[in-house]
């Protein structure tokens, strides 16, 4: 029983680690999509910034410079997205797809050119990474039943970026629903002409939104390669950007429900990892592939309206063109 | 010439000008939307601008509100020359605008909509409280009460418009532009709007009223300017003109405001609707217990403010929408909820349909005229019946025939549908539907966005169909159109029929009251059913 | 002046070429940045794609994949449906081929099995396309999101089956057993050698011919049948389609079935053409490339053949880059593909204002004089 409890606590701990990039990307998507810009390029931005952060950290030895590099590159991709979708009123899905494919190719190409290790970056030492922060008294707490275990295993021992991700949810909620910027941002995703006629700039707001999305994706990518992992591996985003997008839809474009969806999807992944090759009494060997596919499957079910209804911002995907 | 008329319109040379436009030009591609337009609006007056669709009114006010910048010309507000490059510039200059299509975020509250883009501070709540306080003064001063916490999409149209006016006043507008403000209002709501405009004027606000309805010009304005094909034709004092003169200026030639209605002899009933009810999936009842019949050789007009069930009625009769309860009988076929008819089946029963929205339904804009001219008739005999093959040559030849008999210009079947003018697009739709020689014809808003020349042509075609024995159901939000074409009029309000009246026995006042849902048809009239 | 007032040769000829040049220029700059000569690289690619012995066969082999996936995207585009699910539909199509062959190759003669496997590829792909179509048409789910999700679901199903019940006994890698002898589509070089030509070995097979037939079929369907007319009408205005008496939901499902079937047939080339067993990830992104192909080819079969040829050459030439350069790998092709999608798709009209300006300034003197 005690062993099962520890297993459970460790799975929750792993859930947080796995969910961190999802949360950051979901908040990124929230800003972008609330402003009316579909963002399927979360994946590509995260991948590209994972590469940039690891390269930067490897070359300079500083994880903070790595973070800066990751954010910078991700924002650059956001600006391309904005240039295509806002300035040139291009198709937002196509632009996002282009960025994803571009990132897949560019990371490996540049990786080989820089490090000649088959597209990977060198292994990062502890000093080049965001390391786990052990909270005070974590060791002592171990002996306190239940709460102590929770404190030591779940709350303590996370790196800075995990906290940043959780904090980003609060900030997103505040900015989007409690500030005037948020009011305009939501208005521009619902009815851009209202903002235009009220003297606001539709393009300006949408660009701000995609840039914020870029910053958050940059942090997510940095987390992958310099906090969760120890270096860049090709295709290391591995569909997480799409899962984050699914979580955003699942959370109906609201910060806290999106967070919960990320945690749920993270939990599934953590559980799958833990059940890999484990014989469970009666059921036998559960196929982890089928657990891993659940986020996608659930999103399809949700979108089909079988469990609740997810209605996106009204003007999402529609370039703003002044009427003649 | 222009200078002389301006001073004539101003009456008194010393009165200060709120707006003065000088030689404004604006070109879109090859279209000159505004040609050397001059306009002077005296402060504290209500000034109307009339003109047909496409006369350049909308372009002019868009320039005034900073949506477009003029190619050349100058704008002065209260005597100060200004450059209006964005709506923000216009707002700063004290200009407010109530758009034809409201610029409100539907799922925001009234207050959120009012402060949007003009918030105080960065914290939403604190700013909203402050705004609420200053709004109180404005609402009291102008008598514009509205629940600030209500969500806009739940408000009736008249109140939404009030929110738009409040929005402008909150931004400190001293000049208010209203673009076709009455299109979505009942006659009574229109009265209320005009009362508000009167109050605003008394408080020194200058009002620019854009409309194509001459009656409104006569009712509320002090001055009126007439536009025609991008040019200012004349400026007049409203008291010294009349609708006939204005209409002539708008069109550039004498107009028959009436195409020449002659009563017709109606024959047997072609279509009977009994207790028609339609409930949407959202739970809203858009059509409620509507009964009527339409006979051979008559035009039944359906009057009502836009959005009171007329569109749903047309779509139900055309087989596009499903009936929830009630019946439609055409010949031997009884259409019910249990035995619905598809649009193609209804077509087979001898019904043709000129839809209200020709851009979204009547035509496919990116298709060639030849392709649009067979929409809904892909499997007709002239297209080879059930054969799955599409012959471009047959389509083109068919279109050519239609074009020459309905005088569509240019008569070029390979031209894309969106490159034709509104009137010619409508003629393509009309030609396609009439050439199927229907027994029953449904017509929705036949002359919306159509120039006056084509209106005459279209009205004559409808009379010709009636005289050939066709039963015509005409839906229009233009009461004048209903009155000049119909033999009988059914008035709709909130999805219900307010009664059917014989045109000969009624007048606009009675129909207006019925449109507002105030009174049903008088008992004397009920027999008209 | 807008797109519709430009002559056709500019709209469907010049602009796509300018977009392609822009994409290749950016790619060239990146190659230069990583320290290689872009012109030399291009030379290697062209030689690798067309000149070396057997190269053309390989190029056309890849071209075949892209024709199928490109047509799949294009057919859906005509109904204004953005089918991103080509990848998943191709996988499931391959699964269909595999299932038919694995169940029947011991009981039926090879020719018959092959003849059954071809429609199986189409049918399985169609099913994987029609479900998102149904979800969009009847349940209002956005097809872009559902097809993305369906790619992941398909991929999981393949892993689950190939590492599970379909895995060859005694095998460690996730793949099925090999098909019985003789169960493959005829290879072009073998046919030509039998006819007396001397052609070098390549995986080019009968699928190429099927792909070309599919091109003609799609063209005929879209522009020469009433169904095609209704499909295009649905794409532009669902309300007009309803008004005209057709059910857009049915059309959407039908179009997604056709689209999925075309994507599914891509597996013929890989599975029935060369692999002769179902392996994991045989689609290697060809489904996504189909989007680039359709965008470049402006959703017209002729354009799609040309764009497929370009991508075929990029893939085959890209393989050559791997050999010739230390620093350039096949991923370079992926990058170029991303740039092409960006410039031909999202930024399709980047150059339009400039072209319009130049065109009208060239036109004016002759027009008025």
What residues does each domain of chain B span? 2-94+174-251, 104-172, 269-350+438-528
Query: Could you tell me how far CA C54 lies from the centroid of its own chain?
Result: 22
Number of H helices, E strands in chain A: 14, 4
Mean pLDDT, to the nearest integer, of C137-165?
Answer: 89
And the tokens for C148? 């993305």
Taking CB atoms and an 8 Å limit, are B117 and A324 in contact across chains? no
- Identify the top-confidence range among B431-445, C155-169, C191-205, C354-368: B431-445
Reported as a single tens digit per residue, the pLDDT across C312-364 is: 998 898 888 888 887 788 888 889 889 998 998 888 888 888 888 888 787 76
Task: Provide, as residue numbers in chain C, all residues whose Cβ is less than 8 Å from the Cβ of A93.
Answer: 82, 84, 144
Domains of chain A by residue range: 2-303
- Could you give the CA distance from residue B146 to residue B136 in angstroms, rounded to a whole number? 10
Task: Provide, as residue numbers in chain B, all residues whose Cβ is less than 8 Å from the Cβ of A199.
Answer: 86-88, 90-91, 117-118, 171
SS3 (DSSP) at A287? coil
Taking CB atoms and an 8 Å limit, are B103 and A190 in contact across chains? no
Yes or no: is domain C64-314 CATH 1.10.10? Answer: no
- Could you give the CA distance from residue C367 to residue B151 in angstroms, rounded to a whole number? 56
What CATH number should be reported for the domain whose range is A2-303?
Answer: 1.10.3470
Q: Which residues of B115-133 are buried (b: 16+ CB within 10 A; e: fewer)?
A: bbbbbeeeebeebbeebee
- Could you give the CA distance from residue B8 to residue A61 in angstroms, rounded to a whole number? 81
Reported as a single tens digit per residue, the pLDDT across B333-347 is: 999 999 999 999 999
Closest CA to C104 of C114, C90, C119: C114
Q: Taking CB atoms and an 8 Å cut-off, how many pairs form between chains A and C? A: 150
Query: Could you tell me how far CA B360 lies from the centroid of its own chain?
Result: 16
Interface test with B, best of C240, C298, C357, C364 (most B CBs within 10 A): C240
- Could you give the CA distance from residue A306 to residue B354 in angstroms, rounded to a whole number? 38
Task: Provide, as residue numbers in chain A, all residues whose Cβ is less than 8 Å from the Cβ of C336.
Answer: 105
Q: How far apart are the first and last CA of chain B?
A: 55
Torsion of CA B309, B310, B312, B317, to 10 degrees: 140
- A312 to chain C: nearest residue by CA? C142
And the tokens for C185? 């589509």
Taking CB atoms and an 8 Å limit, are A105 and C34 in contact across chains? no
SS3 (DSSP) at A137? coil
Q: Which of C229, C239, C246 is opposite residue B361, by nearest beta carbon?
A: C239
Give the ipTM of the model, two decimals please.
0.88
C77-to-B143, B233, B398 alpha-carbon distances in Å: 53, 48, 29
pLDDT of residue A324: 44
And the tokens for C351? 């150059």
- Could you give the CA distance from residue C284 to residue B171 in angstroms, rounded to a whole number? 58
pLDDT of residue C221: 96
Mean pLDDT, to the nearest integer, of A182-211?
Answer: 93
Confidence of residue A310 (pLDDT cuts 50, 70, 90): low
SS3 (DSSP) at B148? coil
Tell me what the pLDDT averaged over chain A comes to.
88
Reported as a single tens digit per residue, the pLDDT across B264-291 is: 777 889 999 999 999 887 777 889 999 9
Q: Is residue A71 within 8 Å of residue A226, measured between CB atoms?
A: no
Confidence of residue C231 (pLDDT cuts 50, 70, 90): very high
Residue whose pair of structure tokens reads 């189409």 in the numeric block: C122
- Number of Cβ within a 10 Å radius of residue A280: 9
Q: Which residues pair with B41 in a beta bridge?
A: B19
SS3 (DSSP) at B143? coil
Q: Which residues pair with B39 in a beta bridge?
A: B21
Does the pLDDT value for residue B27 go beyond 90?
no
Asked if the peptide bond before residue B410 counts as cis, ω within 30 degrees of 0, the response is yes
What CATH number should be reported for the domain whose range is B269-350+438-528?
Answer: 3.40.50.300
Taking CB atoms and an 8 Å limit, are A198 and B117 in contact across chains? yes
Does the pLDDT value for residue B529 go beyond 70?
no
pLDDT of residue C122: 97
Domains of chain C by residue range: 64-314
Tell me what the pLDDT averaged over chain B comes to.
86
Reported as a single tens digit per residue, the pLDDT across B73-105 is: 999 999 889 998 888 999 999 999 998 888 999
- Could you give the CA distance from residue C293 to residue C62 in angstroms, rounded to a whole number? 12
Per the document, the length of chain A is: 324
Interface test with C, best of B361, B392, B393, B433 (most C CBs within 10 A): B361
Task: Name the DSSP class of C186.
Answer: P
pLDDT of residue B275: 94
Q: Taking CB atoms and an 8 Å cut-off, how many pairs form between chains B and C? A: 71
- Give the CATH fold of the B2-94+174-251 domain: Rossmann fold (3.40.50)
pLDDT of residue A140: 77
Does the pLDDT value for residue A248 go beyond 70?
yes
Contact partners, residue C226, CB within 8 Å, separation at least 6: B378, B379, B383, B387, B388, B389, B390
Task: Provide, as residue numbers in chain C, all residues whose Cβ is less than 8 Å from the Cβ of A83.
Answer: 347
Using a CB–CB cutoff of 8 Å, tell me whether A84 touches chain C.
yes
Reported as a single tens digit per residue, the pLDDT across B465-501 is: 999 999 999 999 887 788 889 999 999 988 899 999 9
Using a CB–CB cutoff of 8 Å, tell me whether A294 touches chain C.
no
Closest CA to C252 of C111, C142, C335: C142
Number of H helices, E strands in chain C: 16, 0
- C234 to chain B: nearest residue by CA? B364
Q: Is residue A24 within 8 Å of residue A96, measured between CB atoms?
A: no
> DSSP string covering C131-199, please?
HHHHHHHHH---HHHHHHHHHHHHHHHHHHHHTTTTSPTT--SSBPPPPPTT-SPPBHHHHHHHTT---
């Amino acid at each position: 029983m005690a062993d099962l409890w520890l297993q459970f606590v460790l799975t929750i701990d792993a859930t947080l680690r796995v969910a961190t990039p999802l949360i950051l990307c979901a908040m990124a998507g929230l800003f972008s999509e609330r402003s009316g810009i579909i963002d399927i390029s979360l994946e590509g931005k995260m991948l590209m910034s994972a590469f940039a952060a690891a390269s930067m950290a490897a070359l300079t030895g500083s994880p903070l410079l790595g973070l800066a590099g990751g954010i910078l590159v991700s924002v650059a991709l956001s600006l391309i997205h904005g240039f295509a979708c806002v300035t040139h009123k291009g198709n937002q899905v196509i632009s996002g797809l282009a960025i994803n494919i571009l990132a897949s190719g560019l990371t490996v190409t540049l990786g080989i050119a820089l490090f000649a290790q088959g597209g990977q970056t060198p292994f990062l030492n502890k000093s080049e990474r965001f390391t786990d922060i052990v909270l005070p008294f974590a060791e002592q707490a171990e002996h306190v039943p239940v709460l102590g275990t929770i404190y030591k295993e779940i709350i303590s021992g996370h790196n800075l970026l995990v906290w940043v991700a959780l904090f980003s949810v609060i900030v997103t909620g505040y900015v989007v629903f409690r500030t005037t910027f948020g009011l305009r941002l939501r208005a521009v995703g619902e009815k851009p002409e209202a903002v235009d006629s009220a003297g606001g700039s539709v393009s300006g707001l949408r660009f701000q939104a995609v840039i914020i999305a870029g910053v958050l994706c940059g942090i997510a990518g940095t987390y992958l390669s310099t906090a969760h992992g120890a270096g860049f591996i090709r295709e290391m985003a591995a569909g997480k950007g799409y899962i984050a997008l699914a979580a955003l839809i699942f959370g109906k474009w609201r910060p806290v429900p999106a967070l919960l969806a990320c945690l749920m999807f993270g939990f599934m992944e953590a559980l799958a990892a833990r059940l890999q090759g484990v014989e469970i009494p009666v059921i036998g060997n559960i196929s982890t592939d089928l657990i891993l596919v659940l986020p996608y499957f659930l999103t399809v079910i949700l979108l089909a309206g079988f469990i609740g209804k997810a209605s996106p911002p009204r003007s999402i995907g529609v370039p703003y063109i002044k009427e003649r | 010439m222009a200078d002389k008329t301006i001073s004539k319109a101003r009456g008194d040379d010393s009165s200060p000008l709120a707006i003065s436009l000088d030689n404004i030009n604006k070109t879109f591609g090859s279209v000159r939307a505004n040609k050397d337009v001059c306009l002077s609006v005296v402060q504290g007056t209500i000034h109307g601008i009339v003109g047909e669709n496409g006369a350049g009114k909308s372009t002019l006010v868009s320039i005034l509100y900073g949506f477009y910048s003029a190619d050349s010309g100058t704008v002065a507000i209260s005597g100060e020359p200004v450059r209006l490059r964005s709506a923000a510039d216009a707002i700063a200059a004290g200009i407010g605008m109530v758009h034809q299509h409201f610029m409100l975020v539907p799922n925001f509250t009234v207050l959120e909509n009012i402060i949007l883009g003009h918030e105080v501070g960065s914290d939403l709540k604190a700013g909203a409280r402050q705004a609420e306080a200053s709004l109180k003064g404005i609402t009291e001063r102008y008598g514009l009460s509205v629940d600030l916490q209500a969500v806009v999409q739940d408000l009736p149209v008249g109140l939404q418009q009030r929110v738009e006016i409040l929005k402008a006043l909150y931004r400190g507008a001293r000049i208010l532009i209203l673009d076709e403000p009455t299109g979505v209002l009942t006659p009574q709501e229109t009265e209320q709007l005009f009362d508000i405009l009167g109050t605003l004027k008394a408080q020194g606000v200058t009002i620019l009223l854009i409309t194509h309805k001459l009656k409104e010009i006569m009712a509320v304005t002090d001055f009126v300017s007439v536009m025609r094909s991008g040019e200012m034709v004349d400026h007049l004092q409203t008291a010294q003109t009349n609708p006939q003169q204005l209409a002539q200026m708008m069109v550039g030639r004498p107009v028959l405001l009436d195409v020449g209605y002659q009563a017709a002899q109606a024959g047997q009933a072609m279509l009977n609707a009994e207790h028609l009810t339609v409930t949407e999936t959202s739970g809203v009842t858009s059509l409620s217990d509507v009964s009527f019949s339409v006979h051979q050789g008559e035009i039944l007009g359906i009057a009502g403010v836009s959005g009171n069930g007329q569109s749903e009625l047309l779509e139900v009769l055309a087989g596009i929408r499903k009936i929830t309860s009630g019946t439609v009988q055409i010949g031997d076929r009884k259409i019910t909820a249990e035995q619905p008819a598809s649009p193609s089946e209804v077509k087979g029963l001898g019904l043709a349909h000129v839809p209200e929205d020709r851009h979204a339904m009547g035509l496919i804009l990116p298709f060639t005229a030849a392709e649009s001219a067979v929409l809904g008739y892909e499997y007709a005999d002239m297209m080879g019946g059930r054969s799955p093959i599409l012959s471009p040559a047959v389509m083109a030849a068919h279109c050519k025939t239609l074009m020459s008999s309905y005088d569509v210009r240019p008569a070029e079947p390979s031209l894309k549908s969106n490159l034709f003018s509104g009137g010619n697009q409508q003629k393509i739709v009309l030609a396609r539907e009439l050439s199927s020689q229907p027994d029953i014809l449904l017509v929705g808003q036949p002359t919306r966005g159509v120039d006056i020349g084509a209106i005459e042509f279209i009205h004559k075609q409808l009379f010709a169909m009636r005289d050939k024995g066709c039963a015509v159901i005409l839906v229009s939000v233009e009461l004048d159109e209903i009155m000049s074409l119909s033999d009988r009029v059914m008035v709709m309000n909130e999805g219900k029929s307010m009664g059917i009246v014989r045109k000969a026995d009624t007048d606009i006042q009675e129909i207006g009251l019925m449109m507002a849902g105030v009174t049903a048809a008088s008992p004397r009239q009920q027999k008209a059913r | 002046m807008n797109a519709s007032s430009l002559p056709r040769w500019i709209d469907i000829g010049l602009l796509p070429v300018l977009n392609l040049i822009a994409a290749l220029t950016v790619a060239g700059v990146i190659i230069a940045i990583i320290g290689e000569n872009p012109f030399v690289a291009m030379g290697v690619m062209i030689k690798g794609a067309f000149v070396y012995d057997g190269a053309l066969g390989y190029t056309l082999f890849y071209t075949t994949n892209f024709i199928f996936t490109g047509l799949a995207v294009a057919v859906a585009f005509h109904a204004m449906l953005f089918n991103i699910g080509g990848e998943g539909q191709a996988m499931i199509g391959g699964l269909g081929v595999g299932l038919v062959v694995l169940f029947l190759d011991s009981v039926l003669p090879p020719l018959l099995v092959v003849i059954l496997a071809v429609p199986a590829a189409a049918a399985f792909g169609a099913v994987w396309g029609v479900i998102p179509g149904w979800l969009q048409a009847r349940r209002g789910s956005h097809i872009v999101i559902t097809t993305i999700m369906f790619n992941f679901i398909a991929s999981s199903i393949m892993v689950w089956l190939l590492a599970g019940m379909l895995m060859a006994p005694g095998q460690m890698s996730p793949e099925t057993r090999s098909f019985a002898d003789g169960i493959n589509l005829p290879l072009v070089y073998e046919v030509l050698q039998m006819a007396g030509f001397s052609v070098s070995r390549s995986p080019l097979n009968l699928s190429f011919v099927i792909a070309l037939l599919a091109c003609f079929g799609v063209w005929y369907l879209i522009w020469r049948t009433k169904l095609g007319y209704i499909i295009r009408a649905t794409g532009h205005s669902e309300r007009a389609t309803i008004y005209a008496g057709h059910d857009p939901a049915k059309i959407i499902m039908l179009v997604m079935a056709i689209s999925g079937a075309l994507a599914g047939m891509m597996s013929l080339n890989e599975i029935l053409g060369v692999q002769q067993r179902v392996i994991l990830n045989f689609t290697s992104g060809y489904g996504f490339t189909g989007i680039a192909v359709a965008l470049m080819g402006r959703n017209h079969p002729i354009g799609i053949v040309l764009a497929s040829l370009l991508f075929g050459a990029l893939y085959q030439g890209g393989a050559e880059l791997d050999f010739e350069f230390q620093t350039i790998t096949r991923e370079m092709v992926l990058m170029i593909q991303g740039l092409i999608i960006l410039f031909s798709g999202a930024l399709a009209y980047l150059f339009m204002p400039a072209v319009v300006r130049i065109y009208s300034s060239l036109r004016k003197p002759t027009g008025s004089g």
